[in-house]
Amino acid sequence: TMISDNLQRVQAQIRGACKAAGRDAASVRLLAVSKTFGADAVWAAWQAGQCAFGENYIQEGVDKIDGLRRM
13-47 residue pLDDT tens? 999 999 999 999 999 999 999 988 999 999 999 99
CB-count burial class (<10 Å; 0-12, 13-18, 19+) for 54: exposed
Q: Is the pLDDT of residue 1 over 90?
A: no
46-69 residue pLDDT tens? 999 999 999 999 999 999 999 899
pLDDT on residue 71 = 82
Q: What are phi and psi of 33, to 5 degrees?
A: -90, 120
